[in-house]
Amino acid sequence: MFRFPPFLILCAASAAFVVAAVTTEHAGARAEMTQAQTQAQMQGEDADDFGRDEPISPLPRTVPAETARIRLGAELFGDPRLSEHGRVSCASCHDLETNGATGDRVDRGDDGTASSYNTPTVFNAGLNFRRNWEGRPRTTAQLLNRIFRLGRLMGRSPEPGLRRLRADRAMSARFRAVYKRDPDEAAVSDALIAFMATLTTPDARFDRWLRGDAGALSAQEKRGYARFKAVGCASCHQGRNVGGNLLERHGIFHQSTINKPQLLRVPSLRNVAVTAPYFHDGQAKELPIAVRTMGRAQLDVLLSTRDASDIAAFLRTLTGQYRGRDLRQAAARPDS
């Protein structure tokens, strides 16, 4: 049975206030999971036992079957008319052709204002217990409500976008076919939630190894995974999404950013090799550097160059596929 290293007891004591803050929040988040989130985690579940006693488990190899509701959500995801000024869509910051995010340090919203955080990938986001970096939205529905009202993302009101959709006779007809009514906020949110629940990336090489394919990983990648567990990375990055299931103070032992330590949602490490730049502020551009930074900031471990390289090699095996194609790094804007 996998056991975390003994020194993590000290780490847990140092971060006791985090555990206390998270326990009730985590329980509440689980209780309030929407149907779409449950689908993202459970539908298409594999019947086979993957057979390895590890802190990480594989993603299901299948996704929810496509429906008219999902197809409508896919179209809305890429439609800039939804934003207040009609300038950006969900896909503007979450590029499904590359990595589910962008390659920029921060993105700009409908009004041109820069976001406060680096954009996290939308792939596998339904497996996280909270949404966005701060973890305030418990559900995708709550996240969408914030996105359409905070100003820096899709605007301060969904009404201008809804009026544009209602003025489109073909779009209104599609909503009536699915929801028996013209476009409104609840229907738009429901369609987007249904589509976003399908954005999973199965068939990573590491998942194949978990299921018994001994040749799926190289010697270096296996060594990196062993080191990943030994130094304590798996204390926060575990489960099906290799993270995303708790809040943690950024910089427990050493401050690693120019901002003061913050309580943030631990990001998933799935597809991390193709979602640079890293951290909530996008400050790290290379994966081995990010690994060494986190080792010191979160675990008080100074990783050697070889250790960081080995762990990065393991992390690259977490890159999955979307609709049968490998994810890839998005290009950054010259001014990002």
173 vs 109, residue with greater confidence:
173
Count of helices and strands (H, E) across the chain: 13, 4
Distance in angstroms (rounded) separating the CA atoms of residues 108 and 120? 14
Residue 335 pLDDT more than 70?
no
How many domains does the structure of the chain reveal? 2
Residue type, 283: Q
Band of residue 27 on the pLDDT scale cut at 50, 70, 90: very low
Q: Tell me, what's the pLDDT at 26?
A: 39
119-150 pLDDT, tens digit per residue, is 999 999 999 988 889 888 899 999 999 888 87
Q: What integer pLDDT is reported at residue 14 of this predicted model?
A: 41
Give percent of the chain above pLDDT 90: 61
49 part of a folded domain: no
pLDDT band at 313 (very low <50, low <70, confident <90, very high): very high
For β-strands 325-326 and 247-249, DSSP reports them as unpaired
The whole-angstrom distance between residue 187's C-alpha and the CA centroid of its chain comes to: 24
* pLDDT of 18 above 80: no
In a domain, 317, yes or no: yes
The answer to whether residue 311 sits within a structural domain is yes
Task: Give yes or no: residues 231 and 318 share one domain.
Answer: yes
- Which helix H or strand E contains 70, and what residues bound it? helix 68-77
Write down the pLDDT at residue 261.
Answer: 54
Say if residue 12 is in the same domain as residue 161.
no
The mean pLDDT of 200-208, rounded to a whole number, is 97
pLDDT at 308 over 80: yes
**pLDDT for 36:** 43
Q: How far is CA 10 from the centre of its chain?
A: 28
- Domain encompassing residue 293: 8-33+54-62+200-326
DSSP letter for each residue of 26-46? HHHHHHT--HHHHHHHHTT--
d(CA 195, CA 77): 8
Q: 304 — phi, psi (to 5°)?
A: -70, 165
Q: What is the mean pLDDT of the chain?
A: 84
Name the pTM for this structure. 0.83
User: What is the average pLDDT across 149-163?
Assistant: 85
The stretch 168-197 carries a mean pLDDT of 97
Domain boundary (177, 196, 215) is at: 196
Q: Do residue 211 and residue 321 come from a single domain?
A: yes
Q: How far is CA 132 from CA 117, 239, 276, 316, in A?
A: 9, 18, 17, 23
Residue 12's contacts (CB-CB under 8 Å, 6 or more residues apart) are 19
Query: DSSP letter string over 121-180?
Result: P-TTGGGSSS-TTT---SSHHHHHHHHTTSSSSS-S-SHHHHHHHHH-HHHHHHHHHHHS
Domain CATH for 292: 1.10.760.10
Segment 43-54 shows an average pLDDT of 58
DSSP at 257: S
CA distance 311 to 313: 5
- CA 89 to centroid of chain Cα atoms: 18
| pLDDT for 311 | 98
pLDDT at 112: 77
Question: Which is more confident, 192 or 104?
Answer: 192
Q: How far apart are CA 54 and CA 41, in angstroms?
A: 19
* Per-residue confidence (pLDDT) for residue 210, from 0 to 100: 97
User: Considering only CA atoms, which of 36, 33, 30, 39 is closest in space to residue 60?
Assistant: 39
Whether the bond between 288 and the residue before it is cis, its omega within 30 degrees of 0, is no
- Residue 88 CA to residue 296 CA, distance in Å, equals 38
Give the pLDDT confidence of 63-89 residue by residue, as tens digits: 778 899 999 999 999 999 999 989 999
Single out the residue in 196, 230, 258 at which a domain terminates: 196
| Domain presence at residue 223 | yes
Do 110 and 149 lie in one domain? The reply is: yes
Phi, psi of 322 (to 5 degrees): -120, 120
Task: Tell me the two tokens of residue 199.
Answer: 């954005």
- 22 and 84 co-located in one domain: no
Residue 175 lies in a domain: yes
pLDDT bucket at 248, cuts 50 / 70 / 90: confident
Q: Decide if 100 is inside a domain.
A: yes
Instruction: Indicate if the pLDDT at residue 249 is higher than 70.
Output: yes
- Same domain membership, residue 316 and residue 210: yes
For the chain, give the percent of residues with pLDDT over 70.
81
